[in-house]
Structure 1
């Protein structure tokens, strides 16, 4: 891990912390919530050993970033995609390979939708493409389908979930989220229940050192930056109106665990397996459903995920 280099890059009005290693074609690794560049630690080492330059930023609002205002309006999808386009520019690249997970997958879908000219190919995990519905705002749809107790609804009001998190030990919270494996939607009630059901033993893929790294960063930064991504979901719907009906026009591989809460929410399985996904992502080349794997798939099965990424991107 000590061979991974770290630097700050000034992009789009913020200074992103970037971890990287290797020489060759760039692979941009985009993390989710509540994560950091560190979630890609295994893939950085693997891809760099195979002739690629692996680049993993802490996204706006995370980790060692010198943050902009914590006001939610600074975290629209146009801000986040703008950060990554500027980062690609700073690397001297016209196009890069992109890999995303969780919110990083959502950001990656939008990068491909807004700037397909900057992406060679995409490997995305856990979160499927969600085309913009011309009438239904996403948070309103989630609330109608899954109720006010769904975690995304819980995250909407600034300060509310921060206060809930403040009642918990950060280590307990990070442990509980990273090891969550229930194949069902996550609710606010379940999050509040983490206090009563602490993780007694870490799974073999997650060490105390790993937990310490995440805790040390979130202890300093807090969670507001990452939560603001959720608070922009309806606003992103408004901002992306000109892209209604746009399909993802880059080669794609999608990977998800069969125990992932996202895979077991709403009609996601039908969307993936009955033609909707391929309709909206016409260059979708492969869908991999990994058995017995939860949400944090790139950490839980690091070697397999690294192999999946390499096997796909080496074709281009």
Structure 2
């Protein structure tokens, strides 16, 4: 990995600066911040998802700062210019579980002199981390904005079973994935992202890293007209497989192979104002330098059960700070996993005070529709109680 002084300059709007914060849970965290000129402002912490960076918040940071906040966006553990983690496949991937990413968030804000955060805002993987932070430290994270990926609540532990017969303790054969048994065999993207080959598949795609990223951003955005998500209700593999192939891949396909057929035309690329060539170039240079494995290690914690086992400690607990959910009308993540959206609204978040589906947006809310997103977040913060 290149040292910090070898990194290419980041093109940022005037008023956003870069910093490096050492000594955070074993990391040196790369941070973008706005609103830093005025001391003692209330803080907003913005957590990106996969495969993004702190850079993904570049369009919303200044408007949020103009609303009176110190806005802080880090590269998460394993991403971008944050260093100190073992990002290899064979390293300690448990250090990438949601619990550790949440500890990173808390440690960063304390290191930067904040003893509380007005709101933690998370997108995609970052939404899971934000929800966990609000769940376990409501004294510190005073409200939460969940983008794209709903928080369906804490997995329950068995209750009132002490009088039942002892379970059969014989080891069971691993259950076969029902998606793999379909007439058209499939696999979920989380399964794929957990595989040893995923990093190399994407980093060294035969189509080139830049074209893979362009196709992936395109196909999960509102620009791809076939994104017409709907709630999944039956729980069957057949229904689950109705999702696009970037979420439920053909069993023998890589992610680059899955999105390559939907590579936008040059006219579509030229018309993409939310992610022009110079901005996709930045993502390409960063992931070419670091690879994807650090980010992918979080998915391994999910598929292995590590993230669930941490959550089970809070069985029966809910998010009780003011909460907001925002997603895009063309974002399939809204309905993943099945039932999570309804559980979030009914039970998991007891103060869900704001809920919005943004027109003209797919998965990349803060990049596709930054103005609408900023307005909704500021309105929520002004009325949260």
TM-score, normalised with respect to structure 1: 0.90
Larger deviation, residues 177-186 vs 74-83: 177-186
Q: Report the CA distance shift for 1:142/1:131 in structure 2 as closer, same or farther (over 3 A).
A: farther
Q: Contact 1:180–1:294 (CA<8 Å) still a contact in 2?
A: no
| Aligned equivalent of 2:29, options 1, 7, 16 | 16
SS of the counterpart of 1:65?
coil
SS of the counterpart of 1:244?
coil
* Deviation beyond 6 Å, 4+ runs, structure 1: none
Taking the aligned partners of 1:50 and 1:237, their CA distance within structure 2 comes to: 36
| Aligned equivalent of 1:53, options 67, 70, 75 | 70
| Aligned equivalent of 2:115, options 94, 99, 102 | 94
Taking the aligned partners of 1:142 and 1:276, their CA distance within structure 2 comes to: 29
Taking the aligned partners of 2:143 and 2:262, their CA distance within structure 1 comes to: 41
Mapped pair 1:80 → 2:92: no
5+ unaligned residues in a row in structure 2: which ranges?
A: 1-12, 159-173, 221-226, 230-242
Q: CA deviation digits over 1:178-204, x for unaligned, max 9? A: 222433351234722333442223322
Counterpart residue number, 1:253: 324
SS of the counterpart of 2:313?
helix
Taking the aligned partners of 1:74 and 1:235, their CA distance within structure 2 comes to: 10
Output aligned runs, 1:282-297, within 5 Å: 282-297=350-365
Q: Contact 2:274–2:368 (CA<8 Å) still a contact in 1?
A: yes
Q: Which one has a bigger Cα radius of gyration?
A: 2
Q: Report the CA distance shift for 1:146/1:253 in structure 2 as closer, same or farther (over 3 A).
A: farther
Mapped pair 1:31 → 2:44: no
RMSD over aligned Cα, in angstroms? Answer: 2.3
Higher helix share: 1
Taking the aligned partners of 1:204 and 1:46, their CA distance within structure 2 comes to: 19
SS of the counterpart of 2:31?
strand
SS of the counterpart of 2:61?
helix
CA drift of 1:262 comes to 1.1
Taking the aligned partners of 1:146 and 1:46, their CA distance within structure 2 comes to: 46
SS of the counterpart of 1:195?
helix
| Aligned equivalent of 2:264, options 168, 180, 199 | 199
| Aligned equivalent of 1:40, options 47, 57, 67 | 57
SS of the counterpart of 1:212?
helix
CA drift of 1:239 comes to 2.5
Counterpart residue number, 2:209: 170
Output aligned runs, 1:1-316, within 5 Å: 1-10=13-22, 11-22=24-35, 23=38, 24-70=41-87, 71=91, 72-96=93-117, 97-134=119-156, 143=177, 149-157=187-195, 159-165=196-202, 166-168=204-206, 169-181=208-220, 182=227, 183=229, 184-185=243-244, 186-189=247-250, 191=255, 192-200=257-265, 201-202=268-269, 203-233=272-302, 234-265=305-336, 267-268=338-339, 271-272=340-341, 277-315=345-383
Q: Contact 2:29–2:75 (CA<8 Å) still a contact in 1?
A: yes
CA drift of 1:122 comes to 1.2
SS of the counterpart of 2:82?
coil
CA drift of 1:228 comes to 0.6
CA drift of 1:217 comes to 0.7
SS of the counterpart of 2:94?
helix
Q: Contact 2:79–2:290 (CA<8 Å) still a contact in 1?
A: yes
Taking the aligned partners of 2:123 and 2:175, their CA distance within structure 1 comes to: 22
Taking the aligned partners of 1:127 and 1:301, their CA distance within structure 2 comes to: 17
Q: Aligned residues, how many?
A: 309
Q: Contact 2:47–2:54 (CA<8 Å) still a contact in 1?
A: yes
CA drift of 1:132 comes to 3.1
